[in-house]
Structure 1
Amino acid sequence: MASFFEGLWESIFTPGPTPTLLVATNVTFAALQMVLAGMLYATYSVHFVVLSVLCGGLWAAINWFARELKEHQQQEEEEKKRRALASARPRPVSSPDDSETEVEATKSTASLRKGPPPPVSKPVAVSTEVEPAETHGELKLRVVEEALSPSQGIKSSVSTEDEWEKVSENEKDK
């Protein structure tokens, strides 16, 4: 029994659902179902039926999730084995002519005939001056309308901050 609890303690810190943790989870949910059944028998309250259904649903969901996670881990392990086998297999050796197309072969033979590439020229000086951005249009100020209704208040021609100030002033007056 002590080895079970040691295994349970270690399984908490192990990623994934371990067999020890699943056994402990199933035993705990079974005990909870028995307690809920006892409480239902003692009180005849519908609340314990609802709690029992919720407990059963959670129990089933945890087991389903653990099963799906285990299947996914097995699929990943199989995929790793396939990759390892694929990389371990010797690839057929091909001649250099097989991998080149006619154009690539012509370019490589032409470059061999020309000789070494020409030397690289000196770097060009770069200007550090910033050029001004082009202006696409003019900024226009808003025009204050002459006939204002009392509900509109005074419109600002400067910015929206002035409009918010007017709104907050009107709220203070109320």
Structure 2
Amino acid sequence: MAAFITDLMQSIFTPGPTPTLLVATNISFACLQVVLLLLLIATYSIHFIILSFLSAGLWWAINWFAMELRAAEEAEAEKKRRLADTGLGSDSETEVETVMDTGDTGVGSKGVEVLEGRGELKDRANLGGSRSELSTEDEWERVKGGKKAMERSDYLYPGFANS
């Protein structure tokens, strides 16, 4: 039992689903199912049936994921073994792709195509006034302190004009 606990603690820091971690997961889910069954018998509540189905689904999904991960690792190991047998993978760890020239010249040009502009850009400096007068902050300063503030308050609150 002490060896299992030690292996479990080491498997937590090992990437991937280790056999010890899967055994602990399966034991935990089995105990959870027993507890849910006992609570169902004691209370006759449908909630424990629903929780049991959810727990069983999660239990199945975890085991399915571990099985698929193991199958993918085996396929990767088989691929590496085949590369080692053919001698292609022994010199380097990178994959090599062979590019074959088919002699196709293609109909399109290989240059960069220039697109025409669709809209017109407007220069804000030529709209009148200096550049600082056109900023949002300056506009708010004019609205707060000037005549526009009075006009705006008359519009929003007609009964409070010139008060």
TM-score normalised by the chain length of structure 1: 0.55
Query: Could you tell me which of 116, 124, 137 is aligned with 1:161?
Result: 137
Question: Is the 1:8–1:21 contact (alpha carbons within 8 Å) kept by the matching residues of 2?
Answer: yes
In 2: Cα distance, 1:167 partner to 1:54 partner: 61
The corresponding residue for 2:60 is 60
In 2: Cα distance, 1:138 partner to 1:37 partner: 74
1:142 is aligned to 2:118: no
Percent of aligned positions with the same letter in both sequences?
54
Unaligned stretches of 5+ in structure 2?
Answer: 90-120, 157-163
Q: Which is bigger in relative contact order (C-alpha 8 A, separation at least 6)?
A: 1
Q: CA deviation at 1:55?
A: 0.7
| Structure 1 residues 47 and 81, CA gap change in structure 2 (3 angstroms) | same
1:68-117 per-position Cα deviation (integer Å, ceiling 9, x unaligned): 1100111111111112122269xxxxxxxxxxxxxxxxxxxxxxxxxxxx
Unaligned stretches of 5+ in structure 1?
Answer: 90-136, 145-155
Equivalences, count? 114
In 1: Cα distance, 2:30 partner to 2:144 partner: 63
**Residue identity matched to 1:57:** G
Larger Rg: 1
In 1: Cα distance, 2:127 partner to 2:64 partner: 66
| Structure 1 residues 84 and 165, CA gap change in structure 2 (3 angstroms) | farther
In 2: Cα distance, 1:168 partner to 1:12 partner: 64
The corresponding residue for 2:29 is 29
Q: CA deviation at 1:9?
A: 1.8
- When the two chains are superposed, the root-mean-square deviation of aligned CA atoms in Å is 3.2
Secondary structure of 1:16's aligned partner? coil
In 2: Cα distance, 1:69 partner to 1:167 partner: 65
Q: CA deviation at 1:138?
A: 8.0
The aligned runs of 1:69-88 (5 Å cut-off) are 69-87=69-87
In 2: Cα distance, 1:167 partner to 1:43 partner: 70
Q: CA deviation at 1:143?
A: 6.1
TM-score normalised by the chain length of structure 2: 0.58
In 2: Cα distance, 1:10 partner to 1:70 partner: 19
**Residue identity matched to 1:139:** D
The corresponding residue for 2:100 is none
Q: CA deviation at 1:27?
A: 0.9
Q: CA deviation at 1:166?
A: 6.5
| Structure 1 residues 157 and 50, CA gap change in structure 2 (3 angstroms) | same
Q: Which contiguous aligned blocks of 4+ residues in structure 1 show a shift greater than 6 angstroms?
A: 166-170
The aligned runs of 1:3-152 (5 Å cut-off) are 3-87=3-87, 139-140=123-124, 141-142=126-127
